[in-house]
Amino acid sequence: MSWPHRHELETTTLLSRSQGDESARTLAGWVGTGGYERLRQAASMEPEAVTEIVKDSGLRGRGGAGFPTGLKWSFMPKDDGKPHYLCCNADESEPGAFKDREILRWTPHLLVEGCLIAAKAIRAEHVYIYVRGEFFPYTKILNAAVTEAYEGGYIGNDIMGTGWSCELTVHTGAGAYIAGEETGLMNSLMGNRAEPWMKPPFPAQAGAFGMPTTVNNVETIATVPGILEHGADWYRQWGTEKSPGTKLWCCSGHLAKPGNYELELGISLKDIIFDVCGGTPDGKKVKAVIPGGSSTAFLTGDELDCATCYEGMAEAGSSLGTASPIVMDEDTDIVVAMRRIAQFYAHESCGQCVQCREGTEWVVKILQRIEAGDGKLSDLDTLYELCEQMTGRTICVLADSVVFPLRSSMDKFRGEYEAKMRPSAVAVGG
């Protein structure tokens, strides 16, 4: 059962089983459904064994980049004598994404359990759950669950009598998108500005407080208990070879039934939009979809027959991202939509790298001028040039995040841009 709708294509409820069930938020309710048994199992296992199962399952990071989780865990040094940390990234703020929020809201104990299992795998002695600053109600729910879990002996000293100890702290951010970038998150956690740092050093070498650290997304971590309980092969029954398992989809925009759905990876995007979500509310044509959150490339209404897995979306010229399609019907003004997206990134740029600090705002100003009817054709050349200079030039990928939708919107909807140009500009060709 996902939230608030459900659909027959949701073949499993690995992540979403208890969404909508308020009793699962309490420790008693969670333990009653078999909760924390996977933690007991992990607590007695060797860290490598836990990592191995997750590696075999093929689970890929759900924060957007899709990096194999087990492989990431295996980067953590062994016998280095240093404290290790796990940071659970709950700074979900990609426009379009609202999956981690639902996990925090309905199944906080699933997250706590997953965190501790992951902590076991990477030999972490302390787990930090970094929650987005605006998530007040969900932080409250999570804090209540953590308190209960501490009291119940599921976190802290001698977890479940196994002799293994691990602490867990919930840390709230101050509401910055860039704190969701892993190095920005760790800087923020340490009390610094949430500014990404240049890698190396990689988190597994010197992360939070200078110690080996792994940063995992909420959904990734919430998937782990199920994998541990049922095994890697069980998990691989869903999805594709390269993208196994299921994924929470955050469907928004012009849809009849927007919401959260847990779907097998690899099914057609068209099915998700038209079957699962019931198409547009009034049957209008779909003009465009941003499939993976606002930082992914636009697909047109004719490009929706693509497989919703990491490799399938890449093949379609976009990316899976956070699996958060924003659907735009035929009445949508692409230039306005793009301007609004660019404004978000200009507002959220940390301001370290000049390409991002000045580039994002410059893009906004150009788009605003085009929107106001004062554009000229050469503006598009400038925008393409900016796209080139804002890609792969900066510490993190925030600048690239504007480029994906911007370049694709100009490639695929150039007519919409041209229609807004100053009439004379079009007539004289520039």
Partner 1 sequence: MSDLDGGGLDTVTLTIDGVEVTVPKGTRVIEAAERTGVVVPRYCYHPGIPTRPAQCRMCLVEIEGQPKLQPSCVLEAQDGMSILTASETAEKARQSVIEFLLVNHPLDCPICDAAGQCMLQDYAYVTTQLKSRVDEPKTVMGRDRIADDILYFADRCIICTRCVRFMRDVAEDDSLVVAQRGHKAYIDTFPGRDLDNPFQGNIVDVCPVGALVHEDFVFKARAWDMDATAGICPGCSTGCNVTIDTKENQIVRLKPRHNAEVNSYWMCDHGRKHLVMSNRGIRAEVPMIRDGDSLRATDWPTAIAWIAARIRQAGSNGGLGIASPNSSNENLFYFSRLLSRLGIDRWEYSVPQGSTASLPTVPRLELRADRAANGKGGELFGGTRVDAEAVPSPARAGETIVVLEDGLAEAPDGFGSEAGFFLYVGSRLPDAAREADAVLPIATFAEMDGTFTNFEGRVQRFHRALQAPGIARPAWMVLARVLAALDDLEPVSDVGAALDAMASATAAFAGMSWQGLGLKGALVGGDAAAVGAAPAEIDG
Binding site for partner 1 (CB under 8 A): 176, 178, 193, 195, 197-198, 346-362, 365-366, 369, 379, 382, 385, 389, 392-395
Q: Considering the complex, what minimum distance in angstroms separates the CB of residue 105 from partner 1?
A: 28
Output DSSP code: residue 23: G
Nearer to partner 1, 281 or 392 (CB): 392
Is the bond preceding residue 137 a cis peptide, omega within 30 degrees? no
Q: How far apart are CA 78 and CA 233, in angstroms?
A: 27
Q: Considering the complex, what minimum distance in angstroms separates the CB of residue 81 from partner 1?
A: 23
Nearer to partner 1, 285 or 347 (CB): 347
What are phi and psi for residue 219, nearest 5 degrees? -65, -40
Burial zone of 161 (CB within 10 Å; 0-12 exposed, 13-18 middle, 19+ buried): exposed
Q: Considering the complex, what minimum distance in angstroms separates the CB of residue 407 from partner 1?
A: 16
Nearer to partner 1, 175 or 278 (CB): 175
Q: Considering the complex, what minimum distance in angstroms separates the CB of residue 32 from partner 1?
A: 45
254 strand-pairing partners: none
Q: Considering the complex, what minimum distance in angstroms separates the CB of residue 411 from partner 1?
A: 21
Q: CA nearest 298: which of 278, 281, 316?
A: 316
Asked whether the CA dihedral 60, 66, 68, 72 is positive or negative, the reply is negative
Nearer to partner 1, 50 or 395 (CB): 395
Nearer to partner 1, 327 or 363 (CB): 363
User: Which two tokens mark 354?
Assistant: 């000049």
Nearer to partner 1, 44 or 192 (CB): 192
Q: Considering the complex, what minimum distance in angstroms separates the CB of residue 399 from partner 1?
A: 10
What are phi and psi for residue 150, nearest 5 degrees? -60, -50
Q: How far apart are CA 219 and CA 133, in angstroms?
A: 18
Nearer to partner 1, 174 or 314 (CB): 174
Q: CA nearest 288: which of 400, 411, 123, 177?
A: 411
Pairing of strands 84-90, 213-217: parallel
Total count of residues recorded for the chain: 430
Pairing of strands 246-253, 259-264: antiparallel
Q: Considering the complex, what minimum distance in angstroms separates the CB of residue 294 from partner 1?
A: 16
Q: CA nearest 337: which of 399, 279, 260, 412?
A: 412
Q: List the 84-90 sheet strands across, edge first.
A: 167-172, 124-131, 84-90, 213-217
First to last CA, the chain: 54
Q: Considering the complex, what minimum distance in angstroms separates the CB of residue 379 from partner 1?
A: 8
Nearer to partner 1, 203 or 279 (CB): 203
Nearer to partner 1, 216 or 352 (CB): 352
Q: Considering the complex, what minimum distance in angstroms separates the CB of residue 366 from partner 1?
A: 7
User: Which two tokens mark 180?
Assistant: 């969701």
Q: Considering the complex, what minimum distance in angstroms separates the CB of residue 200 from partner 1?
A: 8
Q: CA nearest 366: which of 353, 380, 348, 354?
A: 380
Nearer to partner 1, 51 or 355 (CB): 355
Output DSSP code: residue 257: S
Strand extents, DSSP E, 265-380: 286-290, 299-300, 326-329
